Each structure stands twice: as structure tokens, then as C-alpha cells.
Structure 1
Amino acid sequence: MAYRPVSAAPHVLPPSPPVAEPETLYDRHGVLVVRVGDVVVKAHQPDREYGIPFLDRIELATTLPHIVLGPLGPPLDVDGRLVTVSLYGEPVDPQEELPWEDGARLLAALHAVPVPADAPSWGRPTRVARLVARLGNGPAEDVVRRAFATLPAWIRGEADEPPGEVECLIHGDWHLGQMVCAPGRQWRLIDIEDLGKGAPAWDLARPAALYSAGVLHPEEWDRFLGAYRAAGGPAVPAEGDPWTALDVPARSLAIQIAATCVISAVKDERPLDGPEQAVVDACARICRAGDAA
């Protein structure tokens, strides 16, 4: 981060700015996010591969200031951890009306950006396979594994991704926690670890999965989907059944979320809570719906 030099008379030093107290914003799943004044310092997951593609994602984010609030510069190595620094933005307040329409419009705007020839691929479906591989033994684990077996072979890591998908720039891990209100009261996307080219339906997959599981209220889903369509988003048909495009991404995210919930509950030695059990129940319905594609 650059600072402007301060001119001062000889032997006269400018007053030191007050040092802001660090505030932990997030500390889960190997990710630590700390606010210090007007910036946010993020230590990324230690078990993920970053390298050149992550540098490309940071560079890509700098071309999208009207959509993305990305890192202020290249990542740092701090005691072997990859760390980035970004401007602070106010997160979504769950006590206020949730900004589903703003999120939908941001995604539609991102999906409308021409894809640069050198844009990295998002590569996100591999995460569901990694999480399922970490499951232990038990009834909930068995349900999630059976649901995973119904996914297409390319998502299970057993075949190459089929060609023909229309690619856009996508966020790759969108949910309301990936939005902040930046200076000027403008909503922006954050967390660019998966930013790149991919099928835009994957950006709608998490809310679609939660809606299918009964966790997201139908009115909120309608607000989100309606705003996305009104903004010309290409992930789903402008009219008619959206699930022709959303089925596989939504099933994949339901299984991914369920696996995460089960792993977390086992680690904390506690039963699944209501929403967690709902996504496991959604996996049971996926099992009953059909065999592997």
C-alpha cells in the first residue's frame, strides 16, 4: 500500500495516526480475516493451490472495479501463509432486508463482461469431490456419498468436462457473504479465489441448492432469480424453467454444503442443526431421483 510523503520543518515530526485495534471478522475452515482500520487482511486457506492462476485472478479483478473489490496488490507470504490486503467494505447485515436483487444484478453485470483471452478457469466443481473424500462413516455420510454418486462423471473427477458450455466471467463461489458495501455505498463482490471463466449457472448454484433444500424462502429465491433475469443474466433462460440450466450445479452445491456441514458437526462433536439436516435430507431426495449421469 502506498502512502503520500509528508513535508515537515526540520526536527518537527507529523503526529502519528492512531493505530486501529485489529478486529477478527472471520476465523473458520483455515481462513482468517482481520480488519485493521480501513483495510482487511486475509490469510487464505493453507491447503489450496494458488500460484500463477491466483495472480491472474488478482489482475483480472483490477479490471472490474465497478463489480469487484479485490486485493490492493500482489499476495504476501507471511510465515508460510498466503496473505492479501483489501479495502474494508461493510458486509451484508442479516438483521436488515437481504440484498438479493443487488447480488443478482452484480452477477449479471459480471457475466456480461467479455471474457479476456487469458482469463483463468475457475475450476470449482473439484471442491465437492475433495469434501466428499474427507467424509467419515455414519448414516449422514452415507447419504451424502450416495448423492455424490449421482453427479456427472466429470464432476466426480472420473472424466473430462464436456465441451459446449457457454463461458462467462464468473465469481465461482457466490453467496451473500461474498458481497460488501464499498465506499460510496456501492455493493461489490469480494473473495476472488475462483474468479475466472466458467459456466454462469455455477454462480446461482448455492441459492438454488438452498432453495431446493427448503433453507432459502421461496420469496427470496424469486426475488433473486427475477432480478437476475431482469438484468439480462445469461445463466438461465429469460423465461420458462430455470432448472434445465441449474439442476447439476444446484445438486453439486447441495452435496458440497451437506458434506461441509457433516464434517463440521463431527469435528465439533455435535448433532446437525436444522438447516444442516435439511441439506442432508436434500441429498436423500437426490439419491431417490436417479442414478449417476
Structure 2
Amino acid sequence: MTQSRTEASRTVLEAAADEADLPAHGAEVIRLSENELWRLPGGIVARITRAGQQAAARREIAITRWLAEHLVPAVVPIAMEQPVFVGERAVTFWQELPPHRQGCTADLAPLLRGLHSLPVPAFEIGELDPFVRIETRLARARVLSDDDRAWLLARLAELRIAWADLPAGLPRCIVHGDAWRGNVAVIADGSRILMDFERAAVGQPEWDLTSTASALDTFGSISRDEYVAFCRAYGHDVRVWDGYPVLLGIRELRQVSIAVLLSEGNPVIAEQARFRIACVRGQRGPRPWEWEAVP
């Protein structure tokens, strides 16, 4: 009998916890998405990567420990040798956050400003790659028509060329890589904590800022006043930069590929994926397209 995703994830969790000498009995699923999150006894959260993401897990542990040394409010890895590897998957263990709410754009801006002001780490963290996994997702997706797949892959090639020829912008720095309000936790005393450094790298800070700009321009999920407040708090508006349309196009193609990835066996997400494809192909009028979030 084929294991369910939850059962398969639990098997990996139990193997990693056993190797790390951590308790896994009674562990509860937090979320099963691209990565799988579990709550363990004792205030520990386990994060299981997709296969082949060992290097990203190592980088995330190194960066969050470095951020702690620089007093950046971020998630804290458990003090132990990690990641733990189970086959091709990496498992990391983190201190569970206290009760919190999801942040908003106003909470994100000062965290990004602080992150972007840091010196580049002395250890190797790699260059920002905004295209990571897009081609694989599009090439393998069974929900795509041949025509849509060909168009999306051609759009990807076009954006790669444009990315390599971006105009000058803000100074390069360490970037979060997935800087949206869902990766900010606000605890009861008002403290803000930045999470999920899987895609952290050295690169253009405009990439982090484009995520919030796309919430206005693509998703229509924040108001213009919220966006203005974000820019004021950060100190820069990426939308006035000549390279912004390229970064927005890459962000949108990433969001299409994520919806395509998660749509297998889920008709609601499949419908959202088809809608997103129609939008980027110019079949649904001007932005904002009011895309709905997918898990």
C-alpha cells in the first residue's frame, strides 16, 4: 500500500529525530507544502525539505546563526549539529515561536531595512537565483497544455536574458529571497521576527522589495496606502526603478509555477493556476489581477 504524504513525512521525521536524539512521539503536522513542518514536544519545530535541498538547508542554518550574532530578530535553530539527512531530504530543528500573528507590510519593512544594511557574510552563501525550480516545475507539470508550457518556457528564457542585463540599482547585499509578510511573525509584545531563509543569498535588494510591490500590482492584496507606508518605512520605492518590470515578471512567473506545482489533484488550485496563466499571457486585462493565495 502506498503511504500518504503525511505518513511518508512522519517516517522521515522519526528517522531524523532519532538520529538527533529528539522526541518525535506525539509530533503534530503544522503544514505540508513545498516544505513540511512538524511541531515536536518541548517547543521544537522540525522542517523537512524536498529531496535535493541539502545545500539550502545547510545555508539556512548558517545564515540564521550568523543573524543571531548580528542581533537580527529571526528564527533560531536548535543548538545541535544540523541539518540531519534522511536519504535525499534534509531536516532542520528550530525553537518554536511564542504565540504570534502573521505580520503585515508595515512589520516587514524595518526587518528588511535591517537585513539589507548588514555586511555580506564572510562564509559562502551563494548568489541570488530568482529562477530556481521554475523550469523544472513547468517542464514536469501534467496540468499544463502543450501550448501553455511552450509559452511559459519561452517567457522564462526572455526573463533570463532581461535579468542578466538589469540596470544599476541599490547596492548588492544579503537578501532574504522570499520576503513577504507571511514570513514575518509578530508576537504579543510587538516584537517582529523574520522567518524562512531557504532562499537567502547575496544579490539585488530590489528582489525582496518586489514581493511587496507585487502584492499591490499583481495580487491586489494590499492597498496603495499600505504600500506607501511600506516604502516610507523602508526608505525606497522599487516601482520607480527601471528594472522593476523585469523583477515583477519573474515574481509572477514564479507564482504561476508554484500554483502549477500544487495543483496536481486539487481542482481549486488548478483553476487558480489556469487563471494565473491566462493573466500573464495577456488574456485577463491589466493588473491587478487579484490572484488568490495558494497553500
Name the TM-score, length of structure 1 as normaliser: 0.71
Aligned equivalents of 1:39, 1:26: Cα separation in 2: 14
Correspondences of 1:76-115 after superposition (within 5 Å):
76-80=83-87, 81-89=89-97, 90=99, 92-93=101-102, 99-115=104-120
- Following superposition, the deviation at residue 271 of structure 1 comes to 5.8
Aligned equivalents of 1:183, 1:122: Cα separation in 2: 35
- Following superposition, the deviation at residue 142 of structure 1 comes to 4.0
Whichever structure has more helix as a proportion of its residues is 2
For 2:43, the aligned partner's letter is D
User: Residue 69 of structure 1 contacts residue 188 of structure 1 at CA under 8 Å; is this kept in 2?
Assistant: yes
Give the counterpart of 2:75 among 69, 80, 103.
69
Aligned equivalents of 2:217, 2:258: Cα separation in 1: 17
Question: Structure 1 residues 130, 22: closer, same or farther in 2, change over 3 A?
Answer: same
2:140 alignment partner in structure 1: 134
Aligned equivalents of 1:229, 1:206: Cα separation in 2: 12
Larger relative CO (CA 8 A, sep 6+): 1 or 2?
A: 1
1:270 alignment partner in structure 2: 267
Structure whose alpha-carbon radius of gyration is higher: 1
Give the number of equivalent residue pairs.
255
- Following superposition, the deviation at residue 163 of structure 1 comes to 9.4
Aligned equivalents of 1:211, 1:24: Cα separation in 2: 32
Residue 246 (structure 2) pairs with residue 248 (structure 1): yes
Aligned equivalents of 1:207, 1:232: Cα separation in 2: 11
Aligned-CA RMSD value: 3.5
- Following superposition, the deviation at residue 188 of structure 1 comes to 0.8
Structure 2 gap segments, 5+ residues each = 1-23, 287-295
For 1:152, the aligned partner's letter is R
User: Residue 109 of structure 2 contacts residue 230 of structure 2 at CA under 8 Å; is this kept in 1?
Assistant: yes
For 2:77, the aligned partner's letter is P
Give the counterpart of 1:32 among 32, 36, 51.
36
Question: Structure 1 residues 161, 123: closer, same or farther in 2, change over 3 A?
Answer: farther
Give the counterpart of 1:281 among 263, 275, 278.
278
For 2:65, the aligned partner's letter is E
Question: Structure 1 residues 162, 206: closer, same or farther in 2, change over 3 A?
Answer: closer
Aligned equivalents of 1:281, 1:117: Cα separation in 2: 44
Structure 1 gap segments, 5+ residues each = 1-18
Question: Structure 1 residues 67, 161: closer, same or farther in 2, change over 3 A?
Answer: farther
Aligned equivalents of 1:64, 1:275: Cα separation in 2: 41
Give the counterpart of 1:57 among 43, 59, 63.
63
